[in-house]
Structures are given as C-alpha cells and as structure tokens.
Amino acid sequence: MAMIRNDRAQLYTMEAIASAMLLIVVVIFVLKAAPLTPNTASASHMHVEKELEMRGQDLLTVLDYTPSDTEPSQLKQAILGWTGGQFDGQAAVRPLGGPTNVTANRFKEVLGAAGIAYNVEVYYSTLSGAESRAILWNGRPSDNAVIVSRKIVLHDEEMEGAAQSLIDSIPNMDSNSTKFYNIVVVRMTLWRM
C-alpha cells in the first residue's frame, strides 16, 4: 500500500501543539500576576485575623485591669460614665469629658494608628431579653472582621454615681436581694482598613 502524504495534517498538528503551548504560557502568566492579598483565603489571611483577635483581646484585658480593690477598671469606668450616646471612632475625642472619652482615645491610639477599624458595642440583659447599643462606630465591618468581647459585672453601689440615661438603659436584673445589678458584654469588632 502506498503511503499518502498529507502536508495539511502535519500543519494542523503543529498548529495544535503551538496553540496548547501558548495557552499554557498564558495560564502561567495569569496565575503569577494575580496578587495574593490578606483578603484572599490563605494562610496569611488567617494570620491577619489571629493578629487582630489577639490585639483586640489584649486591649480589652488591659482596659479591664483593676489597679486596686477600691477603684474600678478603666473599661468599667467608661461604661459607668457612658451617657448612652455614640461616638464616631475616627473623630477627635476630647479627654476632658470623663472616662468614656479617655477609653475612646485609647482605642483610637492603639487601633487607629495601626490602620485597624473598630466598632465597640455593649450588650446587656433586660427583662424582655437582651439589647445592644453602639458606643464607638466606624462603619460596616469587612468580611474578614473579627469579634472579641469582655464581660463586665455591674453592682448596685457602682450604679449610684452613674448617669441617669445609663440607669434608664440598663435595668437592675436583681431587684434588691443582692448587690448584683447587671452584666454588660463589651463587644469589639475589628478589621483592617
């Protein structure tokens, strides 16, 4: 049998091989050019979230430190001095206004300077369930935000010097049988800007 020589078939084969190689080069180029950011699901993203969580938890722990038995922590003073209003977390917060503003400035110094946005809310029990109020608000968190919290126990004698708007907002959960007033959960949401 005589072999038929077909130059067209060889040309098509070579064209297919060249196209496949070109396609592989384009795919490799695109994969190399795609940026790997902390917002992508990677090990570095998990590291950033863990760092945010540790920084937020450390800040709440430091603010909740009680220097003596007679003086409440800075975080508790901020709650007791809170008048129910909301501060813009990025606005200039004057330290003249009492412990809430001093604590707000501490959040701004530690987190704002590092490029970390944050929201601070308080959650407390009511007779009908639970309520929350924003104290410091910097907007809607991103998808990679982390949440840390700290519980603060309020007692009857501490509420005697508190603002009337705070007493109206946070009810006494134990009428008169003990010194317990209520538990406030300070919840902080952190994310990178």
Where is average pLDDT lowest: 1-5, 61-65, 73-77, 184-188?
1-5
Task: Give the containing element (helix H, strand E) for 189.
Answer: strand 180-192
Whether 31 maps to a domain, the answer reads no
* 154, 181 Cβ separation under 8 angstroms: yes
- The predicted pLDDT at position 101 comes to 64
Residue written as token pair 């982390």: 146
| Residue 14, in any domain of the structure | no
Residues 6 or more apart whose Cβ sits within 8 Å of residue 145: 189, 190, 191
As a whole number of angstroms, the distance between CA 130 and CA 123 comes to 7
The pLDDT tens digits of the residues spanning 109-159 come to 888 888 898 988 889 888 888 888 888 888 889 888 999 999 998 888 887
pTM over 0.85: no
151 within some domain = yes
Confidence at residue 21, expressed as pLDDT on a 0 to 100 scale = 96
User: % helix / strand / coil in the chain, to the nearest 5?
Assistant: 45, 25, 35
The per-residue pLDDT for 131 is 86
Q: What is the pLDDT of residue 158?
A: 82
Please indicate, yes or no, if residue 74 is contained in any of the structural domains. Answer: yes
Look at the chain and report how many structural domains it folds into.
Answer: 1
Q: Minimum mean pLDDT among 32-46, 96-110, 119-133: which range?
A: 32-46
Structural domain span for residue 70? 43-192
Q: Is the pLDDT of residue 48 over 60?
A: yes
Q: Are 191 and 116 contacting, i.e. CB atoms less than 8 angstroms apart?
A: yes
The pLDDT value given to residue 185: 93
Assigned domain for 34 exists = no
> Residue 104: inside a domain, yes or no?
yes
In the prediction, which pLDDT does 20 show? Answer: 96
